[in-house]
Amino acid sequence: MTQAWTPSSWQFHPAAQQPEWPDEDELHAAVKTIAGFPPLVFAGEARSLQAALGQVSAGNAFLLQAGDCAESFDDFSANSIREKLRVILQMAVVLTYSMGVPVVKVGRMAGQFAKPRTSPTERIGDVDLPALRGHIVNDLRFDAAARTPAPERLVQAYHQSASTMNLVRAFTKGGFADLARVHAWNQEFVASSPEGRRYERVANEIDRALHFMRACGIDTESNPALGQVDVYTSHEALILGYEEALTRQDTLTGRWYDCSAHMLWIGERTRQLDGAHFELLRGVGNPIGCKVGPTVEATELLAICERLNPARLPGRLTLITRMGASHVEERLRPLLRAVTDAGHPVVWACDPMHGNTFSSANGRKTRDFDDIVSEIAGFVRAHRAEGTWPGGIHVELTGENVTECLGGADKVLDSDLDDRYETMCDPRLNGRQSLDLAFRVAELISGSSV
């Protein structure tokens, strides 16, 4: 029997993947501090995102959700935020231009700090320490002090999210994202490459289109549709005390929203129907994502849809599938059919990253660009076969010129991985690989190339 929902009703459900905080009082003090801080996003913005995602679920728009695997307290600068935004804008332009539909832009940003772990501890030699759970909980360094969960990190995560959000708003509304600047987003190391030159051609065409509009008498300079973008924020809602502290009642509608980000998702490891994560998120008004791995059966997926979106609101629920390149088509098709037959208006997004991770010869955790493209190709084929809309992609990337994923047009090799392997957690696509991917996705979905 389902009990009444409150922002703390999750506490009566089993909560997977929570850190063992050594001091309960410190934890409560930190959570209380955050509960007194202003919300990071407004409920009205979450509703706008839900409306935009409703258009995706209807097949009229495309979702681009992208950013770090895990944000870091150490790598936190205007530079890294700008570079990430820049590559997301470039990808969005390519997708919008070639698909001819609006692209809904959602960053794994401004709050993506927490990581679920397969094992609660990590052993090196004969020392066992708590596993790294992301900078919102503990630090990577392998010593007892760094690995002990520290509640003041929750507060620091709030502050870093607030500054990141502030800069994202400044960049997206203050001129940086103006379509008149399409050329300026092409970073040097990208511009000199094949995908960079391909991007330049799209940018030239957009320039010409803007000229044409101006010649027709349209004021392109002061039109906010051309000069600004909405980039929404999202993260995995993992650490429940933090999420509860930012769950606030909207004064306009009286509804509860998790104001730590516009969109929250439930990860593959916390996808327990009767678990605490479902309980918290079922009660908030934000658009919600749920990761769907290869072991999920149709009946379970329908139960997930029913629990998170009983009212069948378009855009409320995004199913982020991560099947692995080799089985995506056969695994996905029965799920697409079942959800469609049940009348659930979900957004289907493809996470081509998490089902395709492996260890390279020199022991680095990596992913191959070809596997990533091949999972998206299978995803698109499955949707074509079932008559559903391949609504979006969910990818881990950075604007920087890192060497974490193999392949791509510039062929990062096994032996290159050590050059710039900087991720906090999973391997990310670099700027060139990301742009290359946008062109591939555009081809796969619109069947033509630009």
What pairs with residue 382 in β-bridges?
none
Query: Minimum CB separation from ligand TRP for residue 345, in Å?
Result: 22
Q: Which of 68, 279, 426, 436 binds Mn ion (CB under 5 A)?
A: 426
Query: Minimum CB separation from ligand TRP for residue 432, in Å?
Result: 18
Specify whether the CB–CB gap between 394 and 437 falls below 8 A: no
Measured at the CA of 238, the angle between CA 329 and CA 102, to 5 degrees, comes to: 50
Among 281, 270, 363, 329, which residue's Cα sits nearest to residue 46? Answer: 281
**Binding site partner of 402, from Mn ion, ligand TRP, none, Cβ cut-off 5-8 A by kind:** none
What is the end-to-end Cα distance of the chain in Å, rounded?
Answer: 54
**Binding site partner of 177, from Mn ion, ligand TRP, none, Cβ cut-off 5-8 A by kind:** ligand TRP
H or E stretch including 127?
A: strand 127-130
User: Which span sits near Mn ion by CB under 5 A: 20-28, 66-74, 198-206, 211-219?
Assistant: 66-74
x/- contact string, 234-263, with Mn ion (CB under 5 A)?
A: ------------------------------
**Binding site partner of 340, from Mn ion, ligand TRP, none, Cβ cut-off 5-8 A by kind:** none
Count CA within 13 A, CB hemisphere, residue 277.
24
Among residues 69 and 179, whose Cβ is nearest to Mn ion? 69
Q: CB under 8 Å to 25, separation ≥6 — which residues?
A: none
| Calpha distance 104→97 (Å, rounded) | 13
Query: Minimum CB separation from Mn ion for residue 136, in Å?
Result: 15
**Binding site partner of 96, from Mn ion, ligand TRP, none, Cβ cut-off 5-8 A by kind:** ligand TRP
Query: Minimum CB separation from Mn ion for residue 423, in Å?
Result: 9
Q: CB under 8 Å to 116, separation ≥6 — which residues?
A: 16, 17, 133, 236, 238, 267, 268, 269, 270
Among residues 244 and 426, whose Cβ is nearest to Mn ion? 426
Query: Minimum CB separation from Mn ion for residue 404, in Å?
Result: 11
**Total residues interacting with Mn ion, rule: CB under 5 A:** 2
141-160: b (≥16 Cβ within 10 Å) or e: eeeeeebbbbbebbbbbbeb
Six-digit token string for 246:
């930012």
Q: Site residues (CB under 6 A) for ligand TRP?
A: 89, 92-93, 96, 102-103, 177, 179, 225-226, 228-229
**Binding site partner of 167, from ligand TRP, Mn ion, none, Cβ cut-off 5-8 A by kind:** none
Which residue type occupies 111? G
x/- contact string, 67-106, with Mn ion (CB under 5 A)?
A: --x-------------------------------------
Query: Minimum CB separation from ligand TRP for residue 104, in Å?
Result: 9
Query: Minimum CB separation from ligand TRP for residue 230, in Å?
Result: 6
Among residues 316 and 394, whose Cβ is nearest to Mn ion? 394
Among residues 236 and 279, whose Cβ is nearest to Mn ion? 236
Among residues 276 and 435, whose Cβ is nearest to ligand TRP? 435
**Binding site partner of 226, from ligand TRP, Mn ion, none, Cβ cut-off 5-8 A by kind:** ligand TRP
Q: Is 32 exposed, middle or buried (0-12, 13-18, 19+ CB in 10 A)?
A: exposed
| Calpha distance 434→449 (Å, rounded) | 16
For residue 232, which phi and psi values (nearest 5 degrees)? -90, 165
What pairs with residue 357 in β-bridges?
367
Among 398, 401, 406, which residue's Cα sits nearest to residue 425? Answer: 398
Q: Which residues bind Mn ion (CB under 5 A)?
A: 69, 426
